[in-house]
A = this chain, B = another copy of it.
């Protein structure tokens, strides 16, 4: 009688798609709540209402699950961005919107952003992953707008675009880091304004030409001359 063994286990066999999305949902939740390392496969399985081994029928391992979770989220974000940007006109406004959108994303989903930065990017095989491809697409939002600005004649024609792009994304990320690790707040609107202005300013004039004292000394010279003239 006390033999527990006889308890006929109740097993539900779902179509692969259903199981997959159940696991992804559980994974996204647990990874968001606890981060990658602290999330255990046991807990994810539990949340998905299955047993650990089942996850491995569908995903190669913990890391692949993370990648799929993040890729799915990236796709949602990319689709939404295109819709939103369509309604914004003018180089400065579009630049500002692009930065604002990124900051807002960090603000709303800090945990997922942290996972990308800490767990995916920087792996030796990162460039072969789906997330990398999506991240490139996402990053092209910046270079697209810079190109528009050049085409419109508002920006100088030969800026180091990759570098500007990386200063935007790297800058937001660093700036938001305290917030990303759960401390302090993040002022999305103000930061978007400031950064948009810095970037716009840096691109609008000859930011690449000043040379050691180049533009600087030119301005000083000219200012001195102007003063003399206006006496």
Q: Which of A15-23, A24-32, A71-79, A162-170 contacts B (4 or more CB under 8 A)?
A: A162-170
Q: Least Cβ distance of A204 to chain B in Å?
A: 6
Q: Least Cβ distance of A127 to chain B in Å?
A: 7
Chain B residue with Cβ nearest A194: B160
Task: Let me know if A214 is at the binding interface, CB within 8 A.
Answer: yes
Q: How many copies does the complex hold?
A: 2
- Give the residue among A159, A160, A198, A203 with the most B Cβ atoms within 10 A: A198
Q: Would A177 and B122 count as touching, CB distance under 8 A? A: yes
Chain B residue with Cβ nearest A122: B118
Q: A167-B171, A228-B229 are in contact. Are A206 and B210 (CB under 8 A)?
A: no
Q: Least Cβ distance of A217 to chain B in Å?
A: 9
- Give the residue among A154, A164, A219 with the most B Cβ atoms within 10 A: A219
- Residue interface bits A169-189, CB-to-B below 8 A is 1, else 0: 111111101101111000000
Task: Let me know if A212 is at the binding interface, CB within 8 A.
Answer: yes
Task: Let me know if A58 is at the binding interface, CB within 8 A.
Answer: no
- Give the residue among A201, A207, A222, A223 with the most B Cβ atoms within 10 A: A201
Q: Would B207 and A202 count as touching, CB distance under 8 A? A: yes
Q: Would B174 and A216 count as touching, CB distance under 8 A? A: no
Q: Would B226 and A181 count as touching, CB distance under 8 A? A: no
Write 16 A-B pairs (CB below 8 A) sorted by A numbering. Answer: A91-B216, A122-B181, A123-B181, A164-B198, A167-B174, A167-B198, A169-B170, A170-B175, A197-B207, A199-B202, A201-B214, A204-B215, A205-B216, A215-B219, A221-B226, A226-B229
Give the 7 A-B residue pairs with the shortest CB-CB distance, closest first. Answer: A170-B170, A201-B207, A167-B171, A170-B174, A166-B174, A222-B222, A202-B202
Seen from chain A, the residues whose Cβ lies within 8 Å of a Cβ on chain B are 90-93, 96, 114, 117-118, 121-124, 126-127, 154, 159-160, 162-164, 166-175, 177-178, 180-183, 191, 194-195, 197-216, 218-219, 221-223, 225-226, 228-230
